[in-house]
Structure 1
Amino acid sequence: MSCLICAGIAQRIQCHGPWEERDCPECGRYRVSDELILTLMEQGQIFDVGKTRGWLDSRRVGGAVPSIEIHEALLVP
């Protein structure tokens, strides 16, 4: 399985709900909403790896798995 952020090798983690969860050696463990993934694919967009990794790091407080939802992602056509 590949990382949704950097496209490197990542482990897919089973989770409940409308999410894809990954554990990447470089990006760490995170969730991305299915709605965001579909929107990115439709618009031909990808994550800015550096900014997304920084954002995820800032959200890893108390061991919680950070989640990226569509309203948190900047989508520029």
Structure 2
Amino acid sequence: MRCYICDKDADQVDSQRDADLVDCHSCGSYGISRSALSVLHANAYVFNIARTLDWLRQERKAGQARPMIHSQSGLWD
């Protein structure tokens, strides 16, 4: 699969009912909710990579091993 954030090769660890769990060599481990995926695809949005990577670092520093991106995250342009 392709990473939703950077579009590089990534592994889909699991696909839960409400989210995809992703391991990307560049972005690290994260989850993305189905509602966030719907917003991205419906509006042809792309992630602001720098803003998203910064947000992921902050979330991991706060103790979230696999931060979850939700539709309200606002990490796209």
TM-score range, shorter chain: 0.7 to 0.9
Cα offset, 1:16, TM superposition: 3.2
Moved >4 Å (runs of 4+): none
**Counterpart Cα distance in 2 of 1:42 and 1:4:** 14
Cα offset, 1:72, TM superposition: 1.6
Q: 1:28 to 1:75 in 2, by over 3 A?
A: closer
Cα offset, 1:73, TM superposition: 1.9
Conserved in 1, the CA contact under 8 Å of 2:48 and 2:76? no
- Counting matched residue pairs gives 76
Q: 1:74 to 1:24 in 2, by over 3 A?
A: closer
TM-score of the superposition, structure 2-length normalised? 0.87
TM-score of the superposition, structure 1-length normalised? 0.87
Higher mean alpha-carbon deviation, 56-65 vs 31-40, is at 56-65
Give per-residue Cα distances to partners, 1:8-35, cap 9 Å, x unaligned.
0001011534001110011000001111
The amino acid across from 1:62 in the alignment is: G
Q: 1:13 to 1:69 in 2, by over 3 A?
A: same
Structure 2, gaps ≥5 residues long: none
Q: CA RMSD in A?
A: 1.7
1:73 aligns with 2:74: yes
Aligned counterpart, 1:54: 54
